[in-house]
Every structure is written in C-alpha cells, then in structure tokens.
Amino acid sequence: MRKITNELILSFKEYLIEEEKSENTIEKYIRDITFFMAWLCGQEATKILALDYKKELCEKYAPASVNAAISSLNSFFSFMEWHNIRIKALKIQRQIFSSKDKELTKAEYERLLTAANDKKNQRLYYLIQTIASTGIRVSELRHITTSAVKTGQAVINCKGKMRIVILPKELCKMLKGYIQENKIENDSVFVSRTGKPLERIHICAHVIIRPEFENPVIARV
C-alpha cells in the first residue's frame, strides 16, 4: 500500500533530521507532505493523483511555489522508494530582455508611438510600449495583468512551459497610471470594449504584423 500516514510523515521527519536539514527546510517539507495527505482524503498515493495535485497547485500558486512543493513531495517519494510516483517540476524560463531578432527597430518604435499619439489612442500607445519593453508576443499580452504590473513580473504559460518576464520599472509606472485612469481591476491590462483580453484581430485593426518573424511583433501602423 502507498497510503500516507502520520507515522510515515514522522519517520520522514526523523530522516530529515538525521540528514541535518535546516529547521525551516524540515518544517516546509513536513507541511507540504501533510497538505498532500489531507488532499488525498485517505486515498493511496498514485502518479495520476500526484499529477492532479500538481495541476491544482498550478491554479492557485506561482510557479516557484509549485516547484517548491513538488520538491518536497519528490523527496518524500524517494524516501519511501515510491520512485514511479515522482513528478516533474515546472519548466520556468526567466526572460528579462527580449532577443534582438524580435525587437522593434528604433525607427519603427518611434513611428508606432507617433501614430498612436496622432490617433490619440492611449491603449495602443501603452500596448506598444509594453511589447517594445518586454519583447513579448502579441498573443501573450493577456498575461500583462494588473497583478503583473504590481509585482513587476508577468508569468507566461505557453503549451505547458512557463517563463517569467520582468517588467521595467518605468513601464510599470506608466501602466499603473493607465490602470488607475481606466479603472481596470483584477484583469488583463489591455482589454477590448467588452472587457475581454485583446486578441490579434483587435490589434491588427490598428497595426500590421510583420510576417517574417516566427513569433510576430507589432511593426507598422
């Protein structure tokens, strides 16, 4: 049987103490295992249930916190020699600066901003600033949320792979003003008139997408 009990958790704790793990580490490992045991509600631990638990964690917590919990679980599974239950951590790619082949040229950037100002299109103006400052794809704009602006980083989940994009301080300052002025709450910053995250079709109404890029960026108005 692979049923987690308080006795097994206590044995695991004694093992961690023998391994000279720090107090904080031991406390966290035991807390994570205890939460998982409670989540199982008396069921035996299986790979499928472990994956379901991982999915639920992803819906509630940041990727780094999820991976920390997974590390605790995997340590316990290894201790119990339940090796086929071990689960993989999330793949997190930290992207601070965009690659040069996806960046707007200075001339393109200036033309876009001028066009946005000429049209008095505040949303387009800040949208361009955001893409130029972070290098994100048009389809990833939905991940620029009010929460991301507050923390200074956006978590982008694409096909199971996650990466963290750092938002420059000046950009966050501008977007906070935009958010406050437009009374945007707990949602994507760039939304349509109906309140839904902007899609490529909305943006294409104002700009042309450069086809030569595998991951297109905004080019010209």
pLDDT digits (tens, 9 = 90+) for 121-150: 788 888 888 887 887 877 788 889 998 999
- pLDDT tens string 49-96: 999 999 988 878 878 888 999 999 999 999 999 999 999 988 765 544
Burial of 35 (0-12, 13-18, 19+ CB in 10 A): middle
Q: What is the pLDDT of residue 182?
A: 84
- Write down the architecture of domain 100-220 according to CATH: Orthogonal Bundle (1.10)
Q: What is the pLDDT of residue 98?
A: 44
CATH 1.10.150.130 fits 6-90, yes or no: yes
Q: Which of 132, 142, 148, 157 has its CA nearest to residue 199? A: 142
Per-residue buried b or exposed e for 138-147, using 16+ beta carbons within 10 Å of the residue's own CB? bbbbbbbbbe
Q: How far apart are CA 11 and CA 13, in angstroms?
A: 5
User: Would you list the DSSP string of 45-76?
Assistant: P-HHHHHHHHHHHHHHS-HHHHHHHHHHHHHH
Q: How far apart are CA 114 and CA 42, in angstroms?
A: 63
Structure tokens given for 134: 């972070």
Question: Predicted confidence band at 39 (pLDDT cuts at 50, 70, 90)?
Answer: very high
Q: Name the more confident of 26 and 165.
A: 26
Mean pLDDT of 5-9: 95
> Is residue 46 pLDDT above 70, yes or no?
yes
DSSP-based three-state secondary structure for 198 = coil
CA-to-CA separations, 23 to 29, 42, 66, 68, 166, in angstroms, rounded: 10, 28, 20, 16, 32
Predicted TM-score (pTM) of the model is 0.50
What are the residue ranges spanned by the domains of the chain? 6-90, 100-220
> Is residue 35 pLDDT above 90, yes or no?
yes
Which percentage of the chain shows pLDDT scores above 90?
37
